[in-house]
């Protein structure tokens, strides 16, 4: 018999929950497609982990809206919120289905991978080592987009996801970065994270 995580009610603002669900669903789609097209099991498993986070958010949102409803007028006003949340949840389910192509060893047709090889923008997942020059640096100060054509879209830190990190966010040793951009720029970022390069170009 499956075990279910106990989710406690927290008075989290609806706007905050919806924002996180939207950002999470976008990240999941990016990760899922990359996982499928590069046959990357690790990225696929990240998608499934994020789906569990999405389910938790959806449940928390449902509890918040139930507590907020006092009469029929309130219920009518919150219908839109429920529809948006349900749409984000469906997107996350679709991303998980794509990830299953990898985790269940279904595979992608070779012609799809061949076409994707010609697409300039890619996505990588890389861990920041202690000797990386990026440690302690603010993302905004690194100017990764103009320098390398690379954008850090998420950070996994101490079992928590930071999605669309702000420019003031500092990179820490042990962070796992999810970055999107041109293949050459991603290669440079990977070398910087792994301590194989000691300076930024450009």
Residue 156 clears pLDDT 70, i.e. is over it: yes
Say how far apart CA 181 and CA 144 lie, in whole Å.
Answer: 10
Domain end residue (candidates: 72, 103, 134): 103
74 in a structural domain? yes
Number of domains into which the chain is organized: 2
174 in a structural domain? yes
- Report residue 115 as tokens: 């076409």
Say how far apart CA 112 and CA 121 lie, in whole Å.
Answer: 15
Domain end residue (candidates: 103, 136, 157): 103
Same domain, 171 and 142: yes
Same domain, 97 and 150: no
Residue 54 structural domain: 14-103
Q: What is the DSSP letter of 169?
A: P
Asked if residue 155 lies in contact with residue 175, where contact means CB atoms within 8 angstroms, the answer is: yes
Asked if residue 116 lies in contact with residue 37, where contact means CB atoms within 8 angstroms, the answer is: yes
Domain end residue (candidates: 78, 103, 128): 103
Say how far apart CA 32 and CA 113 lie, in whole Å.
Answer: 14
CATH number of the domain bearing residue 43: 1.20.58.220
Residue 136 clears pLDDT 90, i.e. is over it: yes
Residue partners of 117: CB distance under 8 A and separation at least 6: none
Asked if residue 28 lies in contact with residue 95, where contact means CB atoms within 8 angstroms, the answer is: yes
Residue 172 clears pLDDT 90, i.e. is over it: yes
Same domain, 89 and 134: no
Say how far apart CA 47 and CA 41 lie, in whole Å.
Answer: 10
Same domain, 81 and 129: no
Give pLDDT tens digits for 48-64: 989 988 988 988 888 88
């Amino acid at each position: 018999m499956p075990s279910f995580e106990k989710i406690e009610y927290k008075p989290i603002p609806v706007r905050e929950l919806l924002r996180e669900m939207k950002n999470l669903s976008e990240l999941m789609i990016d990760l899922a497609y990359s996982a499928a097209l590069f046959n990357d099991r690790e990225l696929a498993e990240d998608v499934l982990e994020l789906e569990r986070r999405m389910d938790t958010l959806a449940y928390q949102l449902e509890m918040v809206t139930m507590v907020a409803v006092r009469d029929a007028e309130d219920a009518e006003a919150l219908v839109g919120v429920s529809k948006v949340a349900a749409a984000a949840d469906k997107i996350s389910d679709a991303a998980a289905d794509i990830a299953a192509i990898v985790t269940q060893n279904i595979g992608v047709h070779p012609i799809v991978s061949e076409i994707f090889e010609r697409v300039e923008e890619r996505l990588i997942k890389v861990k920041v080592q202690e000797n990386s020059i990026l440690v302690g640096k603010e993302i905004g100060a690194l100017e990764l987009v103009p320098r390398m054509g690379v954008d850090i879209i998420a950070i996994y830190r101490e079992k928590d996801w930071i999605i669309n990190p702000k420019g003031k966010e500092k990179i820490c040793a042990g962070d796992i970065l999810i970055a999107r951009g041109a293949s050459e720029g991603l290669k440079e970022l990977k070398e910087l994270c792994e301590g194989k390069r000691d300076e930024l170009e450009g």
